[in-house]
């Protein structure tokens, strides 16, 4: 396995984790949780979007020119 492949897998896992965490915090907030749950979900979603943008920049890496 090449290093860029492992990097893509780790970034993809991070995206999935932050999306799951954001959904979990929203669910907790909707069940009557404190406002900090909503803030945590928004920050987690923003991190997931940032990682997704970064992941898209990896499209051409590791390919011969």
Report whether pLDDT(63) > 80. no
Query: Tokens 């929203």 sit at which residue?
Result: 26
Q: pLDDT value at position 60? A: 76
Strands (E), the chain: none
* CA–CA distance, 21 with 42 (Å, rounded to integer): 10
CA distances from 13 to 19, 22, 47, 59, 62 (A): 10, 14, 13, 17, 19
pLDDT for the residue numbered 59 = 82
pLDDT in tens, 16-49: 999 999 999 999 999 999 999 999 999 999 999 9
Q: Residue 28: its pLDDT value, please?
A: 97
Q: Domain extents for the chain?
A: 17-57
């Amino acid at each position: 396995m090449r290093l860029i492949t492992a990097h893509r897998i780790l970034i993809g896992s991070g995206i999935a984790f932050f999306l799951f965490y954001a959904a979990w915090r929203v669910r907790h907030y909707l069940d009557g949780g404190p406002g900090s749950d909503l803030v945590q979900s928004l920050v987690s979603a923003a991190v997931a979007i940032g990682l997704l943008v970064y992941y898209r920049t990896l499209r051409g890496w590791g390919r011969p020119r």
